[in-house]
Amino acid sequence: MDAIQQMYARWAAGDMGADDQWGDVTAEPRGVDYLEVSAGGVPAMWLRPHDAAEGRVIVAWHGGGFVGGSLYTHRKMYGHLAKAAGVPVLLATYRRTPSSRFPAQIEDAITAYRWAAARAHTVALAGDSCGGGLAVQVALRSTGVKALLLLSPWIDMDPAQPSPWYEKNAATDLFFTRPMVQALIAQYLPGDMSGLEPEVNAFAADLTGLPATYVQCGTGETGRGDSERLAPYARLDVADGQLHTFQMAAGRTAAADDAIGRLAAWVRPRLGL
């Protein structure tokens, strides 16, 4: 069992303290400097490779179901992306549920994006899991975004969660069950709001205006339905035998390193490199 599988198995067994060690599954990328900043009042962190190109930035949001994850759990994975792409990444966080519900998370994401865009002439967006959903929402509300990099994005806020992959991949993805995702949606949305509204569910919006988009997911994850629904608007890679956000194992598994390399190679020309 690899590190990603072990982590999700611990969560499935009720050991939510494993979140503290989430970033341990990623190897240190080296050659990347980290600097915590306030991005217009939003906590963020610059991940800057030593040979970073000037004037370009990837703004990224970490996953965690809006209840977990942090700059520290994800800095190394996005550090690998920054190093491979040769551009700085601004990794941003957001207010958590249930103390802060929609639209707090999207407000924070837009604030961080605008802060970064004022400091670079070319901007791409990235995100994993719910961070991928935030990246899509920012792109739909903004102009000038050159590209989207989405890692196992969680987009669909339909409380029914009708995707058949919850049953098809139940044996491989033990943690992301339909009831668990439904509980996260209930914490995220205000009680009087439908999860089918375009401002919270991009699948109810017009996606034809998205910038160039590259989506990665794993064959073994229950959430692959969201990635597959983006296929008409994006390049989609489904990695054989991999789980949700398998790229977190960057520096430790060939599958993660290959995925990060392909993301970087794809985005560089879209950033003018």
- List the chain pLDDT tens, one digit each, 273 residues: 476 666 666 665 655 555 667 889 999 999 999 999 999 999 999 999 999 999 999 999 999 999 999 999 999 999 999 999 999 999 999 999 999 999 999 999 999 999 999 999 999 999 999 999 999 999 999 999 999 999 999 999 999 999 999 999 999 999 999 999 999 999 999 999 999 999 999 999 999 999 999 999 999 999 999 999 999 999 999 999 999 999 999 999 999 999 999 999 999 999 999
d(CA 90, CA 250): 18
In the chain, where do the E strands start and end?
32-39, 42-49, 56-61, 89-92, 122-128, 145-151, 212-218, 235-239
d(CA 89, CA 116): 10
d(CA 212, CA 251): 27
Cis omega before residue 103 (within 30°)?
Answer: yes
Q: 239 is in which domain, residue-wise?
A: 3-270
d(CA 152, CA 247): 9
Residue 247's CATH number: 3.40.50.1820
- Residue 189 carries which side chain, given as an amino acid letter? L
* Edge-first strand listing for the sheet containing 212-218: 32-39, 42-49, 89-92, 56-61, 122-128, 145-151, 212-218, 235-239
- The length of the chain in residues reads 273
Backbone angles phi, psi at 113, to 5 degrees: -60, -50
165: tokens are 């992959």
207: tokens are 């996606």
pTM of the model: 0.96
Q: What is the tally of structural domains in the chain?
A: 1
- Residue 235 carries which side chain, given as an amino acid letter? R
